[in-house]
Amino acid sequence: QVQLHQWGAGLLKPSETLSLTCEVSSGSFIGYYWNWIRQPPGKGLEWIGEINHSGSTNYNPSLNSRVTISIDTSKNQFSLKLRSATAADTAVYYCARAPIDTASHFDNWGQGALVTVSS
Amino acid sequence: QSRLTQPPSVSAAPGQKVTISCSGSSSNIGDNSVSWYQQLSGAAPKLLIYDNNKRPSGIPDRFSGSKSGTSATLGITGFQTGDEADYYCGTWDTSLSASWVFGGGTKLTVL
């Protein structure tokens, strides 16, 4: 059973860059899209973007100008960077896997990492 | 505002059948498969239903999904107190700015 474990800085000041990494234990990177999804406190889910094993990305248009998702297949890791953070970026951030043939669902999720943006 | 509309809350008594609706448009539900996620308090979301009506291994057949036109429905038979959770629908939206979208979520509680 694949497991996704994520980590990163939990507290940022406004204008700093949010940075998170997700490590995939067991299983292959090939055949999946690797995603970031966030959930502000008390609110719903928002998709941030995805990357496949060859580095091809898709981003939420509302975040496109500030987001970069990268992948390191040698370490079974993919990462999120969100520039110019504001209080509105305070959320629990999840990494999640989607089968590449359909990209129709997220079948495995990380445990989530709370990131707070505050001065 | 979410492109997919769910009722904010639904309540049910143990043993009842529950349905949660998810309404969208031709650019999302009308053109793509729908998935459903269960989020227990303090936990990460968990896949319940994918490709409109398929259940992953380990999900009991009390949970079902259906889609018609631009709407989808999650059904739960024999509601249990352990089913109290937030439920989200999701799908791709292939309008001008293609993006994955989620419904606003439905909080399911025991009556």
Mean pLDDT rounded to a whole number for chain B:
96
Q: How many helices and strands, by DSSP H and E, does chain A display? A: 0, 11
Q: Are A51 and A96 a contacting pair, CB within 8 Å?
A: no
pLDDT grade for B68, boundaries at 50, 70 and 90:
very high
Q: Are B67 and B24 a contacting pair, CB within 8 Å?
A: no
Q: Do B45 and A107 touch (CB under 8 A)?
A: no
The yes-or-no verdict on residue B10 having pLDDT over 90 is yes
C-beta atoms surrounding B1 within 10 Å: 4
C-beta atoms surrounding B105 within 10 Å: 24
pLDDT grade for B86, boundaries at 50, 70 and 90:
very high
Chain B CB contacts of A104 under 8 Å are 32-33, 35, 50-51, 91-92
Closest Cα partner for A115 from A46, A17, A3?
Answer: A17
Residue A17 DSSP one-character state: P
In angstroms, how far apart are the furthest CA atoms of chain A? 43
Model pLDDT, residue B95 = 87
Quote the CA–CA distance of B57 and B59 in Å, as a whole number.
6
Model pLDDT, residue B19 = 98
B87 to chain A, any CB pair closer than 8 A? The answer is no
B50 HSE (CA, 13 A, CB side)? 15
CA B83, A94, B4, A41 torsion-angle sign: positive
Quote the CA–CA distance of A58 and A54 in Å, as a whole number.
13
Model pLDDT, residue B79 = 96
| Average pLDDT for B9-15 | 97
The Cα angle at residue A59 between residues A90 and A77, in degrees rounded to 5: 75
Quote the CA–CA distance of A37 and A94 in Å, as a whole number.
5
- The segments of chain A whose pLDDT lies below 50 read none
Tokens for B21, please give them. 């609706």
Q: Do B44 and A45 touch (CB under 8 A)?
A: no
Closest Cα partner for A94 from A32, A46, A43?
Answer: A46
A41 to chain B, any CB pair closer than 8 A? The answer is no
Model pLDDT, residue B2 = 80
Model pLDDT, residue B55 = 97
Lowest mean pLDDT among A2-11, A57-66, B3-12, B94-103: B94-103
Find the residue in B nearest to A113 (Cα): B44
Work out whether strand A3-8 and strand B35-39 pair parallel, antiparallel, or are unpaired.
unpaired
- Return phi, psi of residue B12, to 5°: -150, 155
* Distance from the A15 Cα atom to the nearest Cα atom in chain B, whole angstroms: 25
Radius of gyration of chain B (CA): 13
